[in-house]
Structure 1
Amino acid sequence: MTFYFPKLHYDKSFRGQTFPLLKPFLKGEEFSDDERTAMYGISEDEVAFVDVLEASDVAILTMSWNYYVKTKQRAKVIQFLKTTQHLNITTWVVLLDDVGIDFPDFPHVKLFRQSGYRSKTPRWHVGLPVFISDPLKAYYNRNAIFERPYVENPTIGFCGFATSNVALALKIKVKIALKNLSYYLKLNAQEPEMILAAAHWRHSILKRLEAHQGLITNFIYRAKYRAGTQNTAQRAASTLEFFNNMKASDYVVCVRGAGNFSVRLYETLAMGRIPIFVNTDCILPFTEAIDWKEHVVWVEADEIDNIGAIVTNFHEKLTEDSFVELQQSNRCLWETKLQLKGLL
């Protein structure tokens, strides 16, 4: 498969809004392929770029749709998409950030996104993993997972922003409602969001698990996102605490945040742990190749009153061998399909 992207679109000052597959290859000349492989897990030998659009199998819009909207360059994108449509070249576009933005309907486009609602988006809007660094290498200097043996009463982990603060929850809901109203009044293009105070809802889910007999809970409640860290040292310490919490747990609660997706889902898989995934109509990646229910404890949003029983029933069906195999399988899933190579 050969790829083309308009190089003149690249804006270094907005590097975070670059299409993810391009970031490893938009580096300085001194950046070696060994460094690329170590940092991004992908080599220049694995991706073929061409300089002529007509010679490509897939065209990639260099920057995110968010970027073009923010910088008032929609017309440039529409012209590019009309050209690739005329040439019948499949085109990849990425939509980043927590909240989606209206995107024009082009039948030859595959729109990658992490946030959004599956039931409210067309099928050509497809899930994109959150690409993370390997926590085992970064924090424990190893490639193999820390295997957990099967025990009758499993440990459920969570470390993160979860609060019972009602005033904060109300403030967040009002803010979302006003943004939604602005969309319906055609004052902005941000897609409507579920009116939900994620941290408050997450807190209520954790309390349900704490109340369920037979589960051991290992919860670290934080009153602010990333514990309100103010500098690099504090951030490093809070991140290590986060992964140590996973390391010491069998299952990890994965619930959406401000956007309708969970970064924690991918971190949990990378650590070889079993996610308790609360589905809020999420757009998961690679559903044609991944049976997600084989890798997670799947809990629908309207089932949270029974979340403890769902976890218990899932665990009771496992054996000593299958429990360890699932940990290994989840790590393998992350390594093989949920890194950048998975896009190829």
Structure 2
Amino acid sequence: MKLFYPKEHYNSTYRGLLFPLLKAFIKNKAFTDAQRLELYGVSEKDYRFVEQLIRADVVVLPMAWNYYVATNQLDSAHALIKAAAREQKIVWSWNAGDFGVKIPSYKNVKVFRMGGYISRAQQGHEGMPVFISDRLSDYQLPNHFGLDYTEKPIVGFCGQANGSLIHAYWEQSKIIFKNLQSYVGMSKKESQAVLSSTRLRAQLLAKLAASNLITDRFILRQHYRAGVKTKAEKQQTTDEFYQNIAQSAYVLCVRGAGNFSVRFYETLMMGRIPVYVNTDGFLPLTNQIDWQKHVVWVDIKDIHRIDETVHAFHQRLDQNSFQNLLKSNRKLWEEKLTLQGFFESQKV
């Protein structure tokens, strides 16, 4: 695939907002292709960068929309998109972070994003995975995909959950304030659903823990990453997190501050089954992946019966189909949800 991007758009000060695929290629001269393969899973053989827009298969807007908005350079982004449109080229772009920024609508632009809301029907907006490291080898149990099928589904979760109404009101008040700023033009960020994600998590975990239809394996934290500070503490909590996934068949995956779940991709990476709570969020490659075959799908309106939904999904499986699903989910992550796999899938 031949790609073009204007080099003058790149700002190393804002490297965190560089288009994800370009992070593997905009490196210092000493960086080798072997290092690129090891760190990013892509090779210089996979993509050819051309110097002229007209020769490209795809044009890439190098920085996230957040950058162009924050630095008042939307005109530069618009000029590139307009030039691409004249040559009938598609532009890849990225709306980064928990909360996307408000951007114009273009017919020839794909806006990849993790957060956001499908029901807003924004032209060209598509789901993108959270690109994570492969941790399976670090936490692999003997015969990892040979996890036994049990009579009751084993549901895991390790993370922050706070059922406090006071905390929920505080979370929602902050969202309302930010939404007001967005509505009156004081903020360039998109408005968000008024929802306490930590309370939602706590309510769902309590519902599952009280059910006799599932076996719970929960480690609940009052703070993000358990509030740890030292390197040793961080390593311990990371180990506990991945061990919890490895020892569970299913993992509860609920949105965080942004309308997406990193845990969703971590669960698939570990070859386990997400219990995906659908809060109107984007998922990647919906034109290629039948997500409801890979996850326990729970619409927000049906969360009161989440335990029944998990149980019913599990009852449709047996030892053979259960293990096949674990393998299938790991393969899905490898082939479609890594940096290399996702952008390779865009060629279809």
Q: Please give the range of the TM-score, normalised by the shorter of the 2 chains.
A: over 0.9
Distance 1:171 1:12, change over 3 A: same
**CA distance in 1 between partners of 2:92 and 2:188 (Å):** 21
Distance 1:64 1:273, change over 3 A: same
**CA distance in 2 between partners of 1:145 and 1:91 (Å):** 41
Q: Note if contact 1:145-1:271 (Cα within 8 Å) is conserved in structure 2.
A: no
Distance 1:182 1:58, change over 3 A: same
Equivalent residue for 1:328?
327
Equivalent residue for 1:260?
259
Equivalent residue for 1:4?
4
Equivalent residue for 1:42?
42
For 1:272, what is the secondary structure of its paired residue?
Answer: coil
Alignment partner of 1:284 is 2:283: yes
Per-residue CA shift, 1:93-121, capped at 9, x if unaligned? Answer: 10010111111111000110110000113
The TM-score with structure 1 as length reference comes to 0.96
Alignment partner of 1:63 is 2:63: yes
Q: Note if contact 1:145-1:331 (Cα within 8 Å) is conserved in structure 2.
A: no
For 2:24, what is the secondary structure of its paired residue?
Answer: helix
Equivalent residue for 2:75?
75
**CA distance in 2 between partners of 1:147 and 1:238 (Å):** 25
Q: Note if contact 1:136-1:143 (Cα within 8 Å) is conserved in structure 2.
A: no
Aligned residue identity for 2:53: L
Query: Which residues of structure 1 form unaligned runs of 5+?
Result: none
Distance 1:210 1:142, change over 3 A: closer
Alignment partner of 1:18 is 2:25: no
Shift of 1:142: 9.1
Equivalent residue for 2:302?
303
Equivalent residue for 1:215?
214
Q: Note if contact 2:69-2:188 (Cα within 8 Å) is conserved in structure 1.
A: no
Structure 2 matches for 1:123-202, cutoff 5 A? Answer: 123-137=123-137, 139-140=138-139, 145-202=144-201
Aligned residue identity for 2:295: V
Aligned residue identity for 2:264: L
Q: Note if contact 1:136-1:142 (Cα within 8 Å) is conserved in structure 2.
A: no
Aligned residues: 343
Equivalent residue for 1:275?
274
Shift of 1:34: 1.1
Shift of 1:141: 7.2
Shift of 1:122: 2.5
Distance 1:124 1:9, change over 3 A: same
Shift of 1:140: 3.4
Aligned residue identity for 2:157: F
Distance 1:214 1:69, change over 3 A: same
Shift of 1:123: 4.7
For 1:46, what is the secondary structure of its paired residue?
Answer: coil
**CA distance in 1 between partners of 2:43 and 2:276 (Å):** 32
For 1:22, what is the secondary structure of its paired residue?
Answer: helix
Equivalent residue for 1:319?
318
Which range is displaced more, 117-126 or 321-330?
A: 117-126
Per-residue CA shift, 1:146-192, capped at 9, x if unaligned? Answer: 43111101211000110122222111100100111111112222111
**CA distance in 1 between partners of 2:10 and 2:145 (Å):** 40
Which range is displaced more, 122-131 or 284-293?
A: 122-131
The TM-score with structure 2 as length reference comes to 0.95
Aligned residue identity for 2:276: F
Equivalent residue for 1:91?
91
Shift of 1:237: 1.9
Equivalent residue for 1:236?
235
**CA distance in 2 between partners of 1:24 and 1:297 (Å):** 33
Q: Note if contact 1:160-1:220 (Cα within 8 Å) is conserved in structure 2.
A: yes
